[in-house]
Amino acid sequence: MATPYLCVEKLVKKFGPFTALGGVDLEVYPGEVHALLGDNGAGKSTLIKTLAGVHQPTSGQIYIEGNPVTFRSPRDASAAGIGTVYQDLALNQLMSVTRNFFMGRELKSSFGRLRMNEMNQIAHDEMLKIGIDFSDPTQTVGTMSGGQRQTLAIARAIYFGARVLILDEPTSALGQKQQMGVLKTIKRVRKRGDIAVIFITHNEIHSQLVADRYTFLALGQVIGAGTKESLAHDEIRRLMAGGAEMRDLEQELAEV
Amino acid sequence: MSDRSESDRLVKESRFERLIRRPEIGSFIVMIVIIVALAFASDFKAFNALGLKNNIAIIAQYGIIATGAAALMIAGEFDLSIGSMIGFAGMSMAMMLKWGLPFGLGEATPMSAFFLTLIMTLGIGWLIGTIVVRSGLSSFIVTLAFLFLMRGVTEVSFRVINKSTQISGLQDFKETSWFADILGGRVFGWFYDIWFALGGNLNRRGEQWVDGFDARFMWWLIIVGVAWFIMGRTQLGNWIYATGDDKEAARANGVPIDRVKVGLFMFTAFCATMFAACQVFDTNTSDAAKGNLMELFAIAIAVVGGTLMTGGFGSIIGVAFGAITVGLVANAVFFIPSIDGAWFRVFLGAILLAAVFANERIRKRITGGI
Ligand SMILES: Nc1ncnc2c1ncn2[C@@H]1O[C@H](COP(=O)(O)OP(=O)(O)OP(=O)(O)O)[C@@H](O)[C@H]1O
Ligand SMILES: [Mg+2]
Interface contacts (A, B; CB < 8 Å):
106
Residue of chain A with shortest Cα separation from B312: A94
> How confident is residue B13, by pLDDT bands cut at 50, 70 and 90?
low
At CB < 8 Å, which residues of chain B contact A? 5-7, 10, 12, 230, 233-239, 241-242, 245-246, 248-255, 312-313, 363, 366-368
More confident residue, A130 or B252: B252
Which CATH architecture is the domain A6-90+163-255 placed in? Answer: 3-Layer(aba) Sandwich (3.40)
Mean pLDDT of chain A: 85
pLDDT of residue A181: 78
Please determine, looking at this structure, whether the domain spanning B26-186+213-367 carries the CATH number 1.10.3470: yes
pLDDT of residue B2: 46
pLDDT of residue A9: 92
Residue B5 has pLDDT above 60, yes or no: no
pLDDT in tens, B91-106: 999 999 999 888 878 8
pLDDT of residue B12: 59
ipTM: 0.80
Residue A67 has pLDDT above 70, yes or no: yes
pLDDT of residue A240: 72
More confident residue, A231 or B354: B354
pLDDT of residue A247: 66
Nearest to B310 by CA among A34, A92, A60: A92
Query: Taking phi first (over 0 means left), then psi (-120 to 50 degrees means alpha), and beta for anything else, what does residue B233 get?
Result: alpha
pLDDT in tens, B117-161: 999 999 999 999 999 999 999 999 999 999 999 999 999 999 999
- Residues lining ligand 1, Cβ inside 6 A: A 15, 18, 20, 38, 40-46, 87
The strand pair at A221-227 and B166-167 is best described as unpaired
Q: From CA A130, how far away is CA A167, in angstroms rounded?
A: 15
Q: From CA B224, how far away is CA B206, in angstroms rounded?
A: 36
Determine, for residues A75 and B254 on separate chains, whether the beta-carbon distance falls below 8 Å: yes
Which residues of chain A make contact with B241, given a CB cutoff of 8 A?
Answer: 92, 94-95, 99
- Which three-class secondary structure state does DSSP give residue A36? strand
* Range A186-203 average pLDDT: 86
Q: What percentage of residues in chain B have a pLDDT greater than 90?
A: 69
pLDDT of residue A242: 66
pLDDT in tens, B315-336: 999 999 999 999 999 998 888 8
pLDDT of residue B154: 96
Residue A11 has pLDDT above 50, yes or no: yes
Residue A110 has pLDDT above 70, yes or no: yes
* Range A201-211 average pLDDT: 87
Distance from CA of B181 to the nearest CA of A (A): 29
> How confident is residue A182, by pLDDT bands cut at 50, 70 and 90?
confident
Do residues B99 and B161 make contact, with C-beta atoms less than 8 angstroms apart?
Answer: yes
pLDDT in tens, B267-307: 999 999 999 999 999 999 999 999 999 999 999 999 999 99
pLDDT in tens, B173-195: 999 999 999 999 999 999 999 99
Q: From CA A8, how far away is CA A13, in angstroms rounded?
A: 13
From the alpha carbon of A217, which atom of ligand 1 is closest? Answer: 21
- The domain spans of chain B are 26-186+213-367
Residue of chain B with shortest Cα separation from A53: B252
Which residues of chain A make contact with B251, given a CB cutoff of 8 A?
Answer: 54, 74
Which residues of chain B make contact with A45, given a CB cutoff of 8 A?
Answer: none
pLDDT of residue B1: 39
Choose, out of A84, A88, A95, the residue to mutate when testing the contact with B (most B CBs < 10 Å): A95
Which residues of chain A make contact with B230, given a CB cutoff of 8 A?
Answer: 112
* Range A118-131 average pLDDT: 85
* Range B39-55 average pLDDT: 91
* Range A235-242 average pLDDT: 72
- The domain spans of chain A are 6-90+163-255
C-alpha pair distances (Å), A82 with each of A56, A124, A127, A129: 15, 23, 20, 21
Determine, for residues A143 and B368 on separate chains, whether the beta-carbon distance falls below 8 Å: yes
From the alpha carbon of A169, which atom of ligand 1 is closest? Answer: 27
Helix ranges (H only) for chain B are 15-20, 25-41, 49-74, 82-99, 110-135, 139-157, 178-184, 189-197, 215-233, 235-245, 247-252, 257-283, 294-304, 316-335, 343-366
* Range A90-114 average pLDDT: 88
Ligand at minimal distance from the CA of A203 is: 1
> How confident is residue A134, by pLDDT bands cut at 50, 70 and 90?
confident
